[in-house]
Structure formats: C-alpha cells, structure tokens
C-alpha cells in the first residue's frame, strides 16, 4: 500500500502540469480553427462586405444566422434557421445558398445600377413539436425593373431523423389517400381563385402528387398547407397563394403511424364493441376445436375484390363476403364470381347505416333491398347479415329472425381500415387466430387484400384451413 502511494505521487504531479498545458493547447487550437474559418469563408464564398451574426429566434430550439451584404450593387439580408438537427440545417442552407448564388450571378452580370438589387430571405416555423418541424423559407428578390420575384421553399421534417416528410410518407403510398388530398387541394385553390375573382383554370394539369409532395403542417397540427410563391405552380398573374387542407376533412386517409406522430389526426369513430348475440341469431361458436377459420370481408364489392378471389383460390381458401347492397348491381359479375368460386355471400345492409337508429320499416328496407340485389345477381338469397359497426338491437334481430337470417359478428378485428398497412393487418389476424375464429377485414382497401397471402400462408403453416361462416360449425 505504502509503496504504491509513493509511486503514485510523482505521476499526479506530472498530470498537474500536463492538464493545464493540454487545455491551453486545445483552446489555442480552437482559436486558430475559428480564425481560419473566418478568413476562409470570407475569401472564398463571400464579398468583403458580407457580415454575419447569430441570434435567438422566437421559435423554441431554433436560432437564426443572419447574413447581410450592403453595397452599391446589392442589398442582401438572409436569415437561416439553425435547428438542433444538423441534417435539417444542411438541407435548408444548401437550398438557400443555391438561390442566393443565382442572385449573386445576376448582380455580377448586371451593367447598369440605378439602385442596388435587393434580396431578402427569411423563414417562418409553422409547426414545431418534439417530433415534427415545418418550415417555410420566403425569398424576395428585386432586380431593378425586372419583375420582383417572390418564391418559397418549404418542408416538413421528422425532427429525430432529419428526413423530409413527403406526402407519400403521410399517406403511406395509398393512391386513394393521395387522390383525396389532391382533390381537397384543388377545391381549396378553386375557392381562393373565385374569391379573388381570378379566371378559372384547369388544375388537373397543375396539381399532382409531385407538386404537392412537400407540404407544411399549420394551424396547431390541424391543417396541411402549401404556401406557393408567385409563378411556382399557378401562372404568375395569380400571385402568391397558400393551399390549405384541414386535416379533419381527410383524416380518414391519414390513419397511419407517421401522420399520427407528426400532426393531429382525429381518429374515426370506433366500431361499437360487439354486443352479445341474441339467442335467435347465434354467432357461430368455436365448438369443434377444429383448426378452421372464417375470413370475412365487409363493405365490398370493390376494385380489389377480383384480385382477392384469385389469391383465395391460390391457397384453396374459402371466405365470406358481406356486401353493401347499393354496390352490388354495378359489379354483378364479380359478385357472381364470389358465389361461383365457392365463397359465401352475406348482407351488410344497403347503405351502411347504424341499423338501431332506423325505424322498423327502414331496417326492413336495408335488409330486403340488399337480399334482392344479391339474389338478382347470383340467384342466391343470403342467410346471414353483418350489421354495420356491429350495431344491433332487439328490433334488428327480430327482423332477421322473421327472415330466417342470422347476425354474424367477429372475434378478431384486424382494424385494417385504421392501419392501412399490410404487415400490421397480417400480424393482427395471425395473433388473433384460434380454432373457430371469425376474422374481420375490408376488401375495399388494397392494403387489406395485400395482407391476405401473408395471413393465409402463416396460418396454413400452423395447420389452419379457411372456411365460410356456414361451414364453421
């Protein structure tokens, strides 16, 4: 012990000298780098009158770097946002620098100077949460008598990754969702143009997925917006215009984890929890212990139903389709095909209302019209009904009993309408599988149909086979 202490002493003395020396060296180094940087940037990228300084911005977690140039030829003021994410800063500053370089070239090439050309670049933050950041950069340039230009650049970023979030990320590549947002955007432009009494234009040529790919979140996370500068999408004569789409008007299409993380996406009403079936209309119970499962598809027929039938055939699987009556006559051939390929047809009402809210006559009409449409298309009258939202009461069940029909609910809800993600839908179905399970899906969503091969192959491996409701017992 003693020896060690003695030996340690000279070492700590040495450190006592070395550490301050290192600190000094390090600071000197930093100082040197600082100076190098200063002179470097002045010599290579900026005219000698360029000045810059940093200041806090009014936005939390964001500082501003101000760059100014003021001389006979130009008057420039640029404010760059400096966020906590280096990747975000780089993308924005590169984008601003590119615009500024073009301006500087114009200034260099100009020969006559009545007054200096001006450029003002600033930014606004429209959404700033722990997850998301939306930024608009506004650029105004006035080049002596030429048209003053007003431009914008805007992005929504994932604050953690620093990646730009595009419309495709928000809609999870769903064409239906992108279409819905584009059409809401076009409506909004048309309204603005009308209010301003500007001439109508054909927006179908102008507004497409690429044009809307970058967007900002505004209004406390409740709107999507596109702050268009002059002549960026619309002809120059239309001036600046901001497209705004309230999220509530398209929330149905934004039920995905990315959108929920970054904005306020109201959830659609939950389907009511399945009420206990009445004795007259029992839901098939898993009594046999046989490894059989009933896949059920609601709300069709739709554009993906025919493809679904091919998938089911490939796996030798039978399923049950609860059709919406009003959709049947327009797609009679696919309805016939469901029947011809050995699947079961069920009634899902004529217009998808909550049946308990209707009068007896209306309930009877919803059931009978749909039965009749299916009978006309296929020659077969359904014996089962799935009530929309799982909502039934004594009046509904009595109407079914009078028609010798049963109400069929489900035991596994894949919630495929909420998470339009084939992998999530597949894992929910597989996780819920039990002998005799009734799995609820909707074949009107492409993501749901795309989940079916995964469900069938996973459950087949576990020894399950797939039958109609009728064959479940």
In terms of CB distance, is 158 or 299 closer to Zn ion?
299
For residue 78, count CB atoms less than 10 angstroms from its CB and return exposed for 0-12, middle for 13-18, buried for 19 or more: buried
Q: Cα(102)–Cα(323) distance, rounded to whole angstroms?
A: 60
CB of 322 to Zn ion, least distance (A): 7
Which residues in 332-391 contact Zn ion (CB under 5 A)?
A: 388
Residue 175 annotated as catalytic:
no
User: Is position 299 an interface residue for Zn ion (rule: CB under 5 A)?
Assistant: yes
Active-site residue, selected from the candidate residues 127, 343, 348, 442: 442
Stretch that binds Zn ion, among 173-181, 264-272, 273-281, 297-305 (CB under 5 A): 297-305
Active-site residue, selected from the candidate residues 158, 298, 413, 419: 298
In terms of CB distance, is 138 or 406 closer to Zn ion?
406
Residues 6+ apart with CB under 8 A from 297: 305, 308, 319, 320, 321, 322, 441, 442, 443, 448
CB of 417 to Zn ion, least distance (A): 9
Stretch that binds Zn ion, among 30-38, 291-299, 309-317, 398-406 (CB under 5 A): 291-299
Q: Cα(203)–Cα(303) distance, rounded to whole angstroms?
A: 26
In terms of CB distance, is 119 or 299 closer to Zn ion?
299
In terms of CB distance, is 119 or 298 closer to Zn ion?
298
User: Is position 298 an interface residue for Zn ion (rule: CB under 5 A)?
Assistant: yes
CB of 386 to Zn ion, least distance (A): 7
CB of 298 to Zn ion, least distance (A): 4
Stretch that binds Zn ion, among 100-108, 111-119, 294-302, 462-470 (CB under 5 A): 294-302
Which pair of tokens denotes residue 96?
């601003």
Residues 6+ apart with CB under 8 A from 77: 66, 67, 68, 119, 120, 121, 122
Q: Cα(248)–Cα(246) distance, rounded to whole angstroms?
A: 5
In terms of CB distance, is 158 or 298 closer to Zn ion?
298
In terms of CB distance, is 164 or 358 closer to Zn ion?
358
User: Is position 413 an interface residue for Zn ion (rule: CB under 5 A)?
Assistant: no
Nearest position to Zn ion, beta carbon: 298
CB of 257 to Zn ion, least distance (A): 23
- Which residues pair with residue 54 across a beta bridge? 65
CB of 444 to Zn ion, least distance (A): 9
Residue 352 annotated as catalytic:
no
In terms of CB distance, is 127 or 327 closer to Zn ion?
327
How many residues bind to Zn ion according to rule CB under 5 A? 3
Stretch that binds Zn ion, among 11-19, 150-158, 299-307, 424-432 (CB under 5 A): 299-307
Which pair of tokens denotes residue 386?
């799935």
Stretch that binds Zn ion, among 63-71, 293-301, 310-318, 357-365 (CB under 5 A): 293-301
User: Is position 79 an interface residue for Zn ion (rule: CB under 5 A)?
Assistant: no
Show the site string, 221-260: x = touches Zn ion by CB under 5 A, - = not. ----------------------------------------
CB of 377 to Zn ion, least distance (A): 19
**Within 13 Å, how many C-alpha atoms sit on residue 12's CB side?**
6
Active-site residue numbers? Answer: 298, 442
Q: Applying CB under 5 A, which residues contact Zn ion?
A: 298-299, 388
């Amino acid at each position: 012990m003693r020896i060690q202490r003695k030996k340690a002493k000279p070492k700590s003395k040495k450190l006592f000298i070395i550490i301050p020396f290192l600190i000094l060296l390090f600071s000197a180094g930093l100082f040197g780098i600082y100076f190098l940087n200063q002179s470097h940037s002045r010599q290579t990228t900026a005219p000698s009158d360029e000045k810059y300084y940093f200041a806090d911005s009014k936005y939390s977690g964001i500082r501003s770097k101000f760059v100014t140039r003021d001389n006979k030829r130009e008057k420039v003021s640029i404010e760059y946002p400096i966020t906590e994410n280096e990747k975000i800063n780089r993308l924005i500053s590169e984008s601003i620098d590119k615009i500024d370089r073009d301006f500087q070239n114009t200034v260099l090439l100009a020969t006559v100077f009545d007054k200096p050309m001006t450029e003002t670049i600033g930014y606004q933050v429209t959404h700033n949460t722990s997850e998301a950041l939306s930024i608009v950069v506004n650029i105004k340039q006035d080049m002596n008598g030429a048209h003053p230009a007003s431009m914008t650049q805007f992005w929504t970023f994932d604050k953690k990754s620093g990646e730009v979030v595009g419309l495709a990320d928000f809609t999870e590549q769903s064409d239906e969702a992108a279409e819905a947002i584009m059409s809401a955007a076009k409506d909004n432009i048309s309204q603005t143009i009308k209010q301003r009494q500007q001439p109508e234009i054909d927006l179908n040529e102008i507004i497409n997925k690429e044009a809307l790919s970058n967007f900002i979140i505004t209004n406390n996370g409740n709107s999507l917006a596109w702050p268009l500068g002059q002549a960026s999408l619309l002809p120059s004569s239309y001036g600046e215009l901001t497209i705004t789409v309230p999220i509530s008007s398209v929330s149905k299409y934004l039920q995905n984890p990315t959108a929920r993380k970054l904005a306020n996406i109201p959830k659609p009403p939950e389907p009511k929890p399945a009420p206990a079936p009445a004795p007259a209309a029992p839901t098939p119970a898993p009594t046999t212990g046989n490894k059989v499962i009933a896949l059920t598809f609601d709300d069709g027929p739709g554009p993906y139903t025919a493809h679904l039938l091919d998938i089911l055939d490939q796996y030798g699987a039978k399923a049950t389709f609860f059709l919406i009556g009003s959709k049947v006559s327009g797609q009679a051939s696919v309805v016939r095909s469901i029947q011809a390929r050995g699947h079961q047809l069920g009634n899902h009402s004529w217009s998808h209302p909550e049946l308990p809210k209707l009068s007896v006559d209306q309930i009877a009409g919803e059931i009978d019209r749909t039965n009749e449409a299916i009978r006309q298309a296929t020659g077969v009258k359904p014996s089962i009904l799935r009530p929309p939202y799982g909502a039934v009461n004594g009046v509904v069940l009595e109407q079914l009993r009078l028609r010798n029909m049963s109400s069929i609910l489900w035991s596994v809800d894949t919630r495929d309408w909420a998470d339009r993600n084939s992998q999530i839908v597949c894992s929910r179905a597989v996780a819920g599988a039990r002998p005799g399970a009734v799995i609820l899906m909707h074949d009107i969503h492409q993501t749901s149909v795309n989940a079916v091969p995964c469900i069938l192959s996973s459950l087949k491996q576990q020894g399950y086979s797939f039958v109609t409701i009728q064959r479940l017992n």
